[in-house]
Amino acid sequence: MNHYQAAIIGFGKAGKTLAAALGRAGWRVAIVEKSKTMYGGTCINIGCIPTKALVHDAQAATDFTEAAQRKASVVEFLREKNYLNLANLESVDVIDGQAEFLDPHTLKITSGEAIRTLSADRIFINTGAEARFPQIEGLIAGPRIVDSTGILNLSSLPKRLGILGGGYIGVEFASMFARFGSKVTLFETASQFLAREDSDISAAVATILQDQGVKIELNAVVDAVTSSSEGVTLHTSQGDRQMDLLLAATGRRPATGTLKLENAGVLTDARGAIQVDKRLKTSTDHIWAMGDVTGGPQFTYVSLDDYRIVYDQLLGEGTRTTDDRLNIPYSVFMTPTLSRIGLTEAQAREQGKNIQVVSLPVAVIPRARVINDTRGMLKAVVDNDTQQILGVSLLAADSHEVINIVKTVMDAGLPYTVLRDQIFTHPTMSESLNDLFALVK
């Protein structure tokens, strides 16, 4: 048995960053990762990096096989870099294997037939989330049915791709594979597409996808799935649909099933998410949870902020909490990108806000003409009483960059006029914020 000052389960963004920081501070640290293919966490290996690499190559009309090879090389480079960043630290041990709690301070690590135990003063859980398949007859992962991880391992392009689930993951893959040349059908059980967005935004997204060749089937209840070496058949409420490959993009759940948290007194909710307080402490005082495993927003940048909160308790002033997160933006990397922050128009009206709503077609932005992508729209919700920005939706090229400017203004509590009157370079997508907020009366 080896004893450490800190044991971290999972090599994700929060975990690896904390391990490096504590190691440099002189702590003896163990970081446990169940798979050598997951050094660096979800983002680098099966999330942000590989998907965005493929999105980039799809936009550049790169052959899919070539794009898949380049994606793999990018992932391999970053995975090795992340491993060496920790393995090269003298006080940090990278341990391969599946971790489970024996008691609140002790972990059993299983790697094949090898078993070891370690104990730690403090333990940090950063095991992320895993794909969730709904209970549908025949919906079992295999050669013709994949989750978001499996589809990233394809070496050849499916001619007919079915995507079960019309949420953000489904939209991103639909746009990407349609641009590569697949015939894509998106199956959504709800009657409204992208219900979390305002109807005008979701309609604009649907139009763009359909123009790319994506077929969207709403109210598509899948009763059963049949797969064979020839393909996969979806038996839906609207009839049978034949596909070469089916992507189940039906959400993710916290990866806690193998940890035996009950042995450590760590409580979870009904979804298996670890319950934490505002400082990310679990129900056991010396155990913290960070990242997707807590059931919060599943973003790498939120996981990074989780690290900041925990580090502040260990080696800082101890004042930082999750309450410090004012506005969390997100981007869906379809082409063009959909980005949003704050309230939608519908949410603001439900809250009884005195608002003004303005929108701008991307077609009037000079930079959009320069890059020859005039699709989409910009939309802002402004509080008439405070002059502050309540929310912004950007469906436009480079919106994933522009949304961060809006976040900075919102977090600072500044009025919309700051963006209306700001001096931006030209021609850029950022300067469209001048024109958007000039519409506010």
Q: Are 163 and 249 in contact (CB under 8 A)?
A: yes
- In this model, does residue 208 exceed pLDDT 70? yes
Angle value at C-alpha 91, between 88 and 275, nearest 5 degrees: 105
Q: Are 399 and 335 in contact (CB under 8 A)?
A: no
Q: What is the pLDDT of residue 138?
A: 95
pLDDT band for position 266 (cuts 50, 70, 90): very high
Structure-token match 């599943």, residue found: 298
Q: Mind listing the domains of the chain with CATH numbers? A: 2-128+253-324 (3.50.50.60), 145-248 (3.50.50.60), 330-438 (3.30.390.30)
Q: What is the pLDDT of residue 38?
A: 95
Q: Residue 357 carries which side chain, given as an amino acid letter?
A: V
Give the tens place of pLDDT for each residue, 322-378. Answer: 999 999 999 999 999 999 999 999 999 999 999 999 999 999 999 999 999 999 999
- H-only helix segments in 61-167: 64-87
Structure tokens at 135: 């209970």
- In this model, does residue 280 exceed pLDDT 90? yes
Which residue out of 105, 286, 400, 426 is catalytically annotated? 426
Give the tens place of pLDDT for each residue, 59-88. Answer: 999 999 999 999 999 999 999 999 999 999
Alpha carbon distance, N-terminus to C-terminus of the chain: 68
What count of Cα atoms within 13 Å lies in the side-chain half-sphere of residue 130? 10
Q: Residue 32 carries which side chain, given as an amino acid letter?
A: V
Q: Phi, psi (5° rounding) for residue 322?
A: -70, -20
Q: Smallest Cα–Cα separation from 204: which of 398, 388, 417, 379? A: 379
Q: What is the pLDDT of residue 1?
A: 60
Q: Residue 48 carries which side chain, given as an amino acid letter?
A: C
Q: Residue 9 carries which side chain, given as an amino acid letter?
A: I
- In this model, does residue 173 exceed pLDDT 90? yes
Q: Is 235 a catalytic residue?
A: no
Structure-token match 């400017």, residue found: 405
pLDDT band for position 412 (cuts 50, 70, 90): very high
For residue 236, give the 3-state DSSP assignment: strand
Give the tens place of pLDDT for each residue, 97-149. Answer: 999 999 999 999 999 999 999 999 999 999 999 999 999 999 999 999 999 99
Q: What is the pLDDT of residue 340?
A: 98
Strands 287-289 and 252-254: unpaired
